[in-house]
Amino acid sequence: MNYSLQEPVMADLHCHTQISDGRLTPQEVVVLAARKGLSVMAITDHDSASGVAAAEREGAGRGIEVIPGIEFNTDWQGTEVHILGYGIDATAQMLRQQLAQLQAYRKERAAKILEKLRVSGIFLSFQQLSANVPGETFGRPHIARTLVQYGYVSDEAEAFRCYLRKGAPAYIPGYKITSSEGIRLIRQIGGVPVLAHPGKEDYSQVLPEWIANGLQGIEVVHPDHDARDEGFWLSTAQRYRLLISGGSDFHGPDNIHGADLGSKGVSLAVVSALKDQALRNQKEG
């Protein structure tokens, strides 16, 4: 199948909300998508699908199709690999169990980070942090925001640089499912697993294994990709007969992560191919 990346962007298939580490509520993201003239969007929060239902309801009233999605933060041999899932059953029992477990790990991890910060003379309570976590997913960006709020650092980038990033004093590695586990889980709940923003990583050794586990697409269009990356991953997708995807990785109006909603995305033909595949997966499942 051939895809033109030149067609107008009508669909932004990579958007975060407050449910994970975005700034806006699911409803607000859909309202913004309407203002940007998008006709399709996917809600792809990290390790959570809790924002999907509210976004779907808002979208129905505004003529915007919301694709139920998720973005799993997974581990492949010590490297963090993100796997997107499109067309998932956001209410599946199996997903709920897996996510509840991940959520619990993330909460524990946040508590451990606060303990480590205390060693550096920073005293934030769990309550102070929780006030900045609007959803159910505790992430380092929330800790960064809290550090800014209480004047310990001047911005979130400094919080990561001085305390939270790998190698910094308060770093705690996150628990992650493996990439293959993430791929299989997405298939089990009827979704299409897509390798997110591969960038300049070399996945040539592991790609066949992921495909054998059920990977069906590659995110070709992403703000971190330059034209060469797009070309490389488009041809890789074609070589392995994989679908493509794309989006802005929108996290909020300040664009600390990702880009403006609707500034990156794909045509409706790409959306149809993903939706058709999701339907086939659900029939097989």
Q: Which residues lie near Zn ion (CB under 5 A)?
A: 71, 82, 196, 249
Give least dist CB 148 to Zn ion, A. Answer: 21
Of 70 and 129, the one with the shorter C-beta distance to Zn ion is 70
Residue nearest Zn ion, CB atom distance: 82
- Closest by alpha carbon to 102, among 81, 72, 132? 72
CA–CA dist 283, 280 (Å, integer): 5
Query: Rounded to an integer, what distance in angstroms lies between the CA atom of residue 133 and that of residue 150?
Result: 15
Look up tokens 């308060």; give the residue.
Answer: 170
229 vs 249 by CB, closer to Zn ion: 249
Amino acid identity of 145?
Answer: R
Chain position carrying tokens 């700034």: 23
* Residue among 23 and 82 whose Cβ is closer to Zn ion: 82
What sections of the chain are H helices per DSSP?
A: 26-35, 52-62, 93-119, 126-130, 140-149, 156-159, 179-188, 207-212, 227-239, 268-284
Smallest distance, Å, CB 18 to Zn ion? 14
Shortest distance, position 147 Cβ to Zn ion, whole Å? 22
Q: What would the two tokens of residue 278 be? A: 């999701």
CB of 73 to Zn ion, least distance (A): 7
In terms of CB distance, is 12 or 71 closer to Zn ion?
71
Instruction: Rank residues 68 and 153 by Cβ distance to Zn ion and give the closer one.
Output: 68
Q: Which pairing describes strands 11-15 and 40-43: parallel, antiparallel, or unpaired?
A: parallel
Residue 173 or 199 with smaller CB distance to Zn ion: 199
Q: Provide, rounded to whole angstroms, the least separation between the CB of residue 21 and Zn ion.
A: 9
Instruction: Quote the least distance from Cβ 71 to Zn ion, whole Å.
Output: 5
**In terms of CB distance, is 47 or 249 closer to Zn ion?**
249
Greatest alpha-carbon pair distance for the chain in Å reads: 57
**CA–CA distance, 181 with 126 (Å, rounded to integer):** 31
Q: How far is the CB of 251 from Zn ion (least distance, A)?
A: 7
Residue 54 CA to residue 46 CA, distance in Å, equals 16
